[in-house]
């Protein structure tokens, strides 16, 4: 029995397009569709076979034809939500689509809330929580890498891994439980090598997964990157090259950029949240001085600094002062304008930077090297070949909890502490892993997750 009401929403973006789709899902979907849709074949939606498409018209309660549409009929359980679903492919005007939705609501459907279709898919067991979250990650993907990780998660690769760790822990629990319930049975003692080996191996797997979360977060949220250097070295030219647009004004006048310019760019599959800063120098100009102060703040806030030097003008006191302020930051140095000149003395750069690239914002020379270098710095290259990556902060927190419980279990086992304590630790680890796939999450968490989705998904 289906306890849910029947819901409907416009599933395509609001605006003008080729088509827009209204999705209806729930036990009354067919009946409601039949009230608004008149098939050219005269057949009732309720009578047609599942997974078939039908031509017809949407007719209002007053008998007015609103649109010529195609209706896709999909019967439970082989649907996205697991419920009977009808999708109306309408002509893409916003007014008409809204009007048709109104008729569908009048016919008995309720407005779907954000992410409600996917939430139902989760509650109906069509997907687990990690896979459902991958839906929104896929929708929001900005780079190739982010997209391929989301697709992998959507396909259940991460869930499979988490479930396998849970299963292995459940196996250990069964072992501990027998020891608690039947202490006189001749069982291997708790300090048994195989037990510890299995526990440690599970912890190692969880740790490996957790270790991917930093790079995962950078892939998902982008790397905060500041382009810094003295005036006129080509910082704004670099921003324009990376963004593929004339975002920032470029001139040969020192101090052209005064305010920081932010732009999200994709470089070889990774997302950089770039900021082009005002050239740093001593200045009497009040506005430029504010820009310079901001540049210094951006150095503090960024995870990556691209320091730009000018091959033509050489390294001077101003460069050295900026370089001094970059200590303890993750930096890559570009010797820009290589198409025009060769830097006479690179020694100061070599002393201060591990990574130096001969670059030209004019000809793109060094761009591949920059991409490769950033990937290496953030260990993203290795991740490309390994799709078990944690990109979600919720999953990371759950893994940290699982990790702590497993450490405690290992400690207890090593100290020969009672089986019940060990039991509690392993149960905690199982529960933490269960949070990732949604087996052990509260309704509140589930609501919060789906609320971050869009209406119609």
Ligand X SMILES: Nc1nc2c(ncn2[C@@H]2O[C@H](COP(=O)(O)OP(=O)(O)OP(=O)(O)O)[C@@H](O)[C@H]2O)c(=O)[nH]1
The residues that touch Mg ion, with contacts defined as CB under 5 A, are: 235-236, 256-257
Identify whether the C-beta of residue 260 lies closer than 8 Å to the C-beta of residue 340: no
Is position 257 an interface residue for ligand X (rule: CB under 6 A)?
yes
Under 8 Å between Cβ of 153 and 131: yes
Which of 213, 237, 373, 412 binds ligand X (CB under 6 A)? It is 237
CB of 21 to ligand X, least distance (A): 45
Instruction: List alpha helices for 28-93, DSSP H.
Output: 29-36
Q: Which is nearer to Mg ion, 359 or 378 (CB)?
A: 359
Would you count residue 222 as binding ligand X (CB under 6 A)? no
Under a CB-based contact definition with an 8 Å cutoff, are residues 384 and 411 in contact? no
Q: Does 254 participate in binding ligand X (rule CB under 6 A)?
A: yes
Using the rule CB under 6 A, is 364 a contact of ligand X? no
Would you count residue 362 as binding ligand X (CB under 6 A)? yes
d(CA 415, CA 409): 10
CB of 333 to Mg ion, least distance (A): 17
Residue 297 or 379: which CB sits closer to ligand X?
Answer: 297
CB of 226 to Mg ion, least distance (A): 13
Q: Does 263 bind ligand X (CB under 6 A)?
A: no
Burial of 252 (0-12, 13-18, 19+ CB in 10 A): exposed
Residues 11, 68: contact at Cβ < 8 Å?
A: no
Burial (CB count within 10 angstroms: exposed 0-12, middle 13-18, buried 19+), residue 1: exposed
Q: d(Cα 74, Cα 242) in Å, to the nearest integer?
A: 45
Q: Does 198 bind ligand X (CB under 6 A)?
A: no
Distance of CA 240 to the CA centre of its chain: 26
Burial of 172 (0-12, 13-18, 19+ CB in 10 A): buried
Closer residue to ligand X (CB): 338 or 433: 338
Residue 336 binds ligand X, judged by CB under 6 A: yes
Q: Which does 216 bind (CB under 5 to 8 A by kind): Mg ion, ligand X, none?
A: none
Only one residue has tokens 């302020």, namely 325
SS3 131: helix
**CA dist., res. 148 & res. 132, Å (int):** 15
Quick one: the chain helix, strand, coil %, rounded to 5?
45, 15, 35
Minimum separation from the CB atom of position 259 to ligand X (A): 10
CA–CA separation, 95 and 97 (whole Å): 6
Alpha carbon distance 397, 274 (integer Å): 28
- Residue showing tokens 């002062």: 321
Q: Select from 177, 251, 372, 414 the one that contacts ligand X (CB under 6 A).
A: 251
389 binds, among ligand X, Mg ion, none (CB under 5 to 8 A by kind): none
Q: CB of residue 277 vs Mg ion: minimum separation in angstroms?
A: 8
Q: Is 282 in the site for ligand X (CB under 6 A)?
A: no
Q: Kindly report the backbone phi and psi dihedral angles of residue 38, in degrees, each rounded to the nearest multiple of 5, phi listed first.
A: -115, 110
243 touches ligand X (CB under 6 A): no
Residue whose beta carbon is closest to ligand X: 279
Q: Which is nearer to ligand X, 278 or 306 (CB)?
A: 278
Query: What are 12's two structure tokens?
Result: 């395509």
Beta strands 356-358 and 331-336: pairing type?
parallel
Q: How far apart are CA 233 and CA 336, in angstroms?
A: 7
Distance CA 447, CA 438 (A): 12
Toward Mg ion, which CB reaches closer, 89 or 243?
A: 243
The answer to whether 67 and 103 have CB atoms below 8 angstroms apart is no
Shortest CB 242 distance to ligand X, Å:
12
Minimum distance from residue 249 beta carbon to Mg ion (Å): 7
Number of residues that bind ligand X (CB under 6 A): 24
252: contact with ligand X by CB under 6 A: yes
Q: Is 313 in the site for ligand X (CB under 6 A)?
A: no
Give whichever of 93 and 255 is closer to ligand X, judged by the CB atom: 255
**Which is closer to ligand X, CB of 31 or CB of 259?**
259
231 near ligand X (CB under 6 A)? yes
Rounded to a whole number of angstroms, the minimum distance from the CB of residue 363 to Mg ion is 19
Q: Which range of residues in 70-78, 106-114, 179-187, 229-237 is near ligand X by CB under 6 A?
A: 229-237
Shortest reach from residue 293's CB to ligand X, in Å: 14
CB of 304 to Mg ion, least distance (A): 18
The one among 25, 85, 89, 360 contacting ligand X by CB under 6 A: 360
Residue 231 or residue 434: which is nearer to ligand X going by CB? Answer: 231
Q: Are 334 and 346 in contact (CB under 8 A)?
A: no
Binding site for ligand X (CB under 6 A): 229, 231-237, 250-252, 254-257, 278-279, 336-337, 339-340, 360-362
């Amino acid at each position: 029995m289906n306890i849910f009401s029947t819901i409907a929403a416009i599933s395509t973006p609001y605006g003008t397009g080729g088509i827009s789709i209204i999705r209806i899902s729930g036990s009354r979907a067919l009946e409601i569709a039949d009230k608004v849709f008149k098939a050219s074949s005269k057949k009732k939606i309720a009578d047609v076979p599942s997974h078939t498409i039908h031509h017809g018209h949407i007719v209002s309660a007053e008998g007015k034809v609103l649109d010529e549409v195609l209706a896709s009929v999909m019967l439970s359980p082989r649907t996205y939500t697991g419920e009977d679903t009808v999708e109306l492919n309408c002509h893409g005007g916003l007014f008409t689509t809204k009007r048709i939705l109104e008729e569908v609501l009048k016919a008995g459907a309720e407005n779907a809330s954000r992410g409600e279709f996917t939430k139902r898919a989760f509650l109906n067991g069509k997907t687990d929580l990690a896979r459902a979250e991958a839906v929104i990650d896929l929708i929001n993907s900005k780079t190739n890498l982010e997209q391929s990780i989301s697709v992998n998660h959507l396909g259940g690769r991460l869930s499979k891994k988490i479930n396998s760790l849970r299963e292995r822990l459940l196996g250990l629990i069964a072992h501990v439980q027998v020891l608690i319930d039947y202490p006189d049975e001749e069982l291997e003692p708790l300090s048994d090598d195989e037990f510890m080996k299995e526990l440690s191996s599970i912890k190692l797997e969880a740790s490996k997964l957790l270790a991917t979360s930093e790079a995962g977060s950078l892939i998902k949220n982008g790397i905060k990157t500041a382009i810094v250097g003295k005036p006129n070295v080509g910082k704004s030219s670099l921003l324009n090259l990376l963004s593929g647009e004339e975002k920032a004004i470029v001139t040969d006048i020192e101090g052209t950029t005064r305010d920081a310019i932010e732009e999200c760019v994709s470089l070889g599959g990774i997302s950089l949240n770039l900021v082009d800063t005002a050239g740093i120098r001593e200045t009497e100009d009040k506005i430029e001085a504010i820009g310079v102060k901001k540049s210094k703040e951006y150095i503090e806030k960024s995870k990556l600094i691209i320091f730009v030097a000018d091959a033509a003008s050489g390294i001077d006191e101003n460069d050295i002062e900026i370089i001094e302020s970059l200590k303890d930051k993750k930096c890559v140095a570009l010797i820009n304008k290589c198409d025009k000149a060769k830097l006479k003395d690179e020694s100061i750069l070599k002393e201060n930077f591990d990574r130096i690239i001969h670059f030209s914002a004019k000809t793109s020379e060094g761009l591949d090297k920059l991409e490769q270098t950033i990937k290496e710095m953030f260990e993203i290259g290795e991740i490309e070949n390994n799709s078990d990556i944690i990109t979600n902060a919720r999953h990371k927190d759950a893994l940290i909890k699982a990790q702590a419980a497993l450490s405690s279990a290992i400690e207890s086992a090593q100290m020969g502490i009672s089986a019940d304590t060990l039991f509690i630790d392993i149960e905690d680890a199982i529960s933490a892993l269960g949070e990732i796939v949604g087996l052990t999450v509260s309704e509140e968490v589930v609501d919060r997750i789906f609320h971050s989705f869009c209406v119609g998904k």
